[in-house]
Amino acid sequence: MRIVFFCISFIVTIVLIVALGTRTWLPVPLGSFLSPQHGIWQNAEPLGQDFNDDLQFPQLKGKSTVYIDDRLVPHIVSDNDDDACFIQGYLHARFRLWQMEFQTYAAAGRISEIVGEKALQYDKGRRRLGMVYAAENMLKEMEANPITKAQVDNYTAGVNAYIASLPESRLPVEYKLLGYRPEKWNNLKTALFVKQMAQTLSGFSDDLPLTKAKAFFGDEALRILFPQVDDSLDPVIPKETVFPAPTVTPAAPVASDSLYLNKSKATGTVQEIKKPNPANGSNNWAVSGSRTQSGAPILCNDPHLDLSFPAIWYEMQVTTPTMNAYGVSFPGAPGIIIGFNDSIAFGFTSSERDVMDYYAIRFKDETKTQYWFDSSWKNSNLRIEEIKVKGKPVVYDTVAYSIFGPVAYDNSYPSADEPGAALAIRWKAHDPSNELLMWYYLNRANNYSDYKNALQYFTNPAHNVVFASKSGDIAIWHQGALPARWNRQGIYVMPGEDSSYMWQGFIPMDENPHILNPERGFVSSANQRPADSTYPYFIPGYYDLYRGIAINRKLNAMHGITADDMMKLQNDNYNVFAETTRPLLLKYIKDSLLNENERKYLDIVNGWSLYNNINERGATIFKLWYDNLEKQVWDDEFEKAGVTALRPSEKTLTEALLRDTAFKYIDNINTPEHETIADVITSAYQQAAKTADSLSAINQLTWGANKNTSIYHLLGAAMMPFARTGLPVGGGAHIINAMQHNHGPSWRMVVELTNETAAYVVYPGGQSGNPGSPYYDSFVDKWAAGEYYKAWFMKRGEQEGDKLVWKMEFGRE
Amino acid sequence: MKFIVSIVLTALLSFVACLYLPWWSIAVVSFLIPMIIFQKPYMAFITGFVSLLLLWGGLAWWISTANDDLLAHKISVLVIKADSPFLLIGLTALIGAVVAAFAALSGSLLRRLF
């Protein structure tokens, strides 16, 4: 009997240990997860955490000190470049390991390994885009250059030194929640990270839905619905700038009018690979000393991205015998990405140029081993993608690589209406390049010619790179290796059966739009078209319009500018789009048709300040109104065309209505009546008023409540306690303060290049990626309030400072 | 006296074991203690329970207090769907306590066989 009691008790004990130690019955293994010495309690960082450390690694060559300030910003001072890269890798891992690894998993299409089947479609999309192929091509270039090879080798060694020192108990909390462990870092992962950014910023393409739309509308109509140059464009390079004659003159293939621009061919409704957020963009500008109070240039930059925890940026300073740069880095890559050094400052906005095209491929048979090209069957390279899925068998997917690039869509992916229709991607991000070299030189640049020299290594994703120097120069280059296209090349899916539709060359760097010290005393960019229609190349893209107008209008009117003025400008909530559009709406609305309740909202729109401040209700109603108007104008035609995911932009509709009140798409083709501009504006308003009523009932009519500015954890809705929601931030699309629901200024920087550099910075996050650290979200409230920190830019030789709090010493064993 | 000594010893050795071994080493310790210092099964059960209730509860409380309950607020919402650091600490203590209690019971029952 006693044996039975023992056995029962013993079995209960074992079952408890197994049940609490595995995920078989529980979503998290509560035993190890809550064990105070192993689990999440180990991630609960004490408020007064001591970050002092003395670390020895055999890989280091000399001695380094990391001075850490009160905001947990590290200032690395190294006696050689290699050690600085090692320490940067170490610190990225120390504070952001989970994030940097997760982002490279995301780039490589490996999320299913972590979260299971629900990420399978996403992962397949990444494989189909050739993300790893792109990273491999970059890796070869990085490792072929001795400078960048040393950078990534040492960076990787630093990350791995941290991972090797990491006991199970100190794993970031996300690993404990999801139940996996970090892999060793390698140089390919750095390349993958860079390519993830390339996809975010140059992976946008509407070629497929436009091809579908062409079958219904025809090319002539689409030229109007998706115009190349907006009427009110204020380009990056001021109008009236004279561009040199093009040295590359691409020729359209014979008969392209009938073969390519004709109406007949549609590719069916393919489900598109997840595209980047179209709002990805940025503002940057630099004002020359002639416009500032101090007489020194001021450079500003705020990149607009999905806001996330942990933040995409990690702030730091790196000082070695060859450089002294401060700014933000990407956890995952060496170098300072946006920032300044002793002599210059630099910033980026996305070029929005289209560098991704599609070609229709004809395979010989279902094996995809051969395709027809230039009058013969060519062999394709088959890449077998092995997608590991948590808790499920491995999924295999075969992607054929053609002369253009990976055949993203074919009979096995995703599900084309036309079986067998195969589409290859030609994407600039697949080409070998070494962007790290650009940052290497940019971090060390002393003047304009150093900056220009650095830019030659920047091929993709193309950006407007703004520059200012202590010697007084300001400049901006619209830089990247950008295809020289014949008119309309790459707007639609192109024939891929011969070489005639391929890219014929690239625009030489000197012919990329750029300007040095313009007469107006400032340079700026906000993702608008870089140049007006006199620019001699065909440059399709996904350009913005109104932010650029707003910035240039403000800067033109400013004199005696201070850093404080620039911070205010970055937080400006004025809506130029609404300023342009509201008069049109108010002019045509038939208010005699409105009931009293509806008229109430009209008064609010009428009296709106045109600032998207959080307490404004007019901003919300205006947006509801316009969204409804767009639906009324476009949905009938585009639904008939079978195009679901694409509509002309807001700016295009406004400009079309301003140009022509009888714009033909106003009419609803599904009704016998002929709708006028007044009809659609009025009925759109009535719809908006209805929605406004229901929003008002739940107190969500004010712009701030409606927008609900939020920063989510990278794992999204599954990790809501790690998010910050309901932040009191105004702004929005088309506005300088481009803060939408969870997309907007991911880093704000104002640098005044006086003798002693004065930089003001902030980002929506914190230096630590650990949700259990007070430094996880420590900058968020200041960022939300539109305030900044004065950066502590350590001088060479400086070893003390009132902001210095901790020191980490690094040396050889 | 045995009771107090066993509680202190179980807690102390569990703490030391967990510095080097996985979390379930608390079960091994709790199992071994009544083999060395015999107590009746129900007393062993209470010993293991109280010992780890105090150790894990105390450690979690101490760590969380130093953290101003920052992480406990977030994790409690994730795990127990209630924003309560107190409940999360309680759950932590309870899990340690139950595992240790059954391990100690088993140890005492095994000792009784000989």
- pLDDT, tens digit, 9 for 90 and up, residues A212-256: 899 899 999 999 999 999 999 999 999 989 999 999 999 999 878
Q: What is the CATH number of the domain that holds A628?
A: 1.10.1400.10
- Residues in chain B closer than 8 A to A43 (CB atoms): 71
Distance from CA of B9 to the nearest CA of A (A): 18
The partner residue sitting opposite B19, judged by closest CB among A37, A40, A44, is A37
A344 found inside a domain? no
Average pLDDT estimate for A130-159:
97
For chain A, the C-alpha Rg in angstroms (whole number) is: 28
Mutate to test the interface with B, among A3, A22, A40, A713 (most CBs of B within 10 A): A40
Reference B58, options B94, B93, B16; nearest CA is: B93
Using the predicted structure, report yes or no on whether residue A288 has a pLDDT greater than 50. yes
Domain ranges of chain B: 2-113
With contact defined as beta carbons under 8 Å apart, do A262 and A217 qualify? no
Query: CB under 8 Å to A97, separation ≥6 — which residues?
Result: A159, A162, A163, A166, A172, A182, A769
Report which secondary-structure segment, H or E, holds A493. none
Distance from CA of B56 to the nearest CA of A (A): 6
Reference B70, options B44, B56, B88, B45; nearest CA is: B88
- Residues in chain A closer than 8 A to B24 (CB atoms): 17, 21, 31
Question: CA A99 to CA A122: how far, in whole Å?
Answer: 18
**pLDDT tens digits, one per residue of A70-113:** 999 999 999 999 999 999 999 999 999 999 999 999 999 999 99
**Position A644, amino acid:** T
User: What is the phi-psi region of residue A374: left when phi exceeds 0, alpha when psi lies from -120 to 50, beta otherwise?
Assistant: left
Confidence of residue A412 (pLDDT cuts 50, 70, 90): confident
Question: CA A782 to CA A795: how far, in whole Å?
Answer: 26
What pLDDT shows up at residue A697? Answer: 95
A473 found inside a domain? no
- Residues in chain B closer than 8 A to A16 (CB atoms): 27, 98-99, 102
What pLDDT shows up at residue A471? Answer: 96
DSSP state of A117: G
**pLDDT tens digits, one per residue of B76-94:** 999 999 999 999 999 999 9
Q: Give residue B63's Cα distance to chain centre.
A: 16
A30 found inside a domain? yes
What pLDDT shows up at residue A419? Answer: 45
What pLDDT shows up at residue A25? Answer: 86
Mutate to test the interface with B, among A1, A4, A6 (most CBs of B within 10 A): A6
User: What is the phi-psi region of residue A295: left when phi exceeds 0, alpha when psi lies from -120 to 50, beta otherwise?
Assistant: left
Domain boundary among A643, A674, A707: A707
A51 found inside a domain? no
ipTM exceeding cut-off 0.90 for this assembly: yes
Query: CB under 8 Å to A473, separation ≥6 — which residues?
Result: A297, A447, A448, A467, A516, A517
| Chain B residue at shortest CA distance from A771 | B71
Average pLDDT estimate for A267-280:
74
- Are A43 and B71 a contacting pair at CB < 8 A? yes
- Residues in chain A closer than 8 A to B74 (CB atoms): 721-722, 771-772
DSSP state of A253: P
The partner residue sitting opposite A17, judged by closest CB among B27, B59, B68, is B27
What pLDDT shows up at residue A111? Answer: 96
With contact defined as beta carbons under 8 Å apart, do A428 and A442 qualify? no
Query: CB under 8 Å to A760, separation ≥6 — which residues?
Result: A563, A567, A749, A750, A751, A788, A789, A790, A791
Distance from CA of B83 to the nearest CA of A (A): 9
Strand partners for A301: A284, A749
Using the predicted structure, report yes or no on whether residue A285 has a pLDDT greater than 50. yes
Using the predicted structure, report yes or no on whether residue A673 has a pLDDT greater than 90. yes
Chain A contact for B18 (CB, 8 A cutoff): yes
The partner residue sitting opposite A722, judged by closest CB among B56, B60, B74, is B74
What is the total count of domains within chain A?
A: 2
Question: CA A92 to CA A332: how far, in whole Å?
Answer: 7
What pLDDT shows up at residue A799? Answer: 81
DSSP count for chain B of H helices, then E strands = 5, 0
**pLDDT tens digits, one per residue of A531-590:** 999 999 999 999 999 999 999 999 999 999 999 999 999 999 999 999 999 999 999 999
Residue A11 structural domain: 1-34
Cβ-in-10-Å burial (0-12, 13-18, 19+) of A780 comes to: buried
Question: CA A724 to CA A765: how far, in whole Å?
Answer: 10
pTM equals: 0.95
Place of tokens 């033909």: A664
Distance from CA of B47 to the nearest CA of A (A): 15
Using the predicted structure, report yes or no on whether residue A774 has a pLDDT greater than 60. yes
Confidence of residue A417 (pLDDT cuts 50, 70, 90): very low
The partner residue sitting opposite A47, judged by closest CB among B67, B92, B102, is B67
What pLDDT shows up at residue A279? Answer: 80
The partner residue sitting opposite A47, judged by closest CB among B15, B66, B112, is B66
What angle separates helix A618-640 from helix A650-659, to the nearest 10 degrees?
90
**Position A813, amino acid:** E
Chain A contact for B1 (CB, 8 A cutoff): no
* Chain A residues interacting with chain B (CB cutoff of 8 angstroms): 2-3, 5-6, 9-10, 12-13, 16-17, 20-21, 28, 30-47, 173, 177, 719-722, 771-774
A465 found inside a domain? no
Report which secondary-structure segment, H or E, holds A759. strand A758-762
What pLDDT shows up at residue A160? Answer: 98
What pLDDT shows up at residue A416? Answer: 46
A555-589: b or e for each residue (b if 16 or more CB lie within 10 Å)? beebeebebebbbebbbbbbbbbbebbbebbeebb
Chain A contact for B75 (CB, 8 A cutoff): yes
A122 found inside a domain? no
The partner residue sitting opposite A772, judged by closest CB among B31, B67, B105, is B67
Place of tokens 């790196």: A318
Min mean pLDDT across A99-113, A261-275, A784-798, B57-71 is at A261-275
Chain A contact for B31 (CB, 8 A cutoff): yes
Question: CA A377 to CA A22: how far, in whole Å?
Answer: 54
For chain B, the C-alpha Rg in angstroms (whole number) is: 15
- Are A9 and B63 a contacting pair at CB < 8 A? no
Question: CA A179 to CA A112: how far, in whole Å?
Answer: 13
Confidence of residue A797 (pLDDT cuts 50, 70, 90): confident
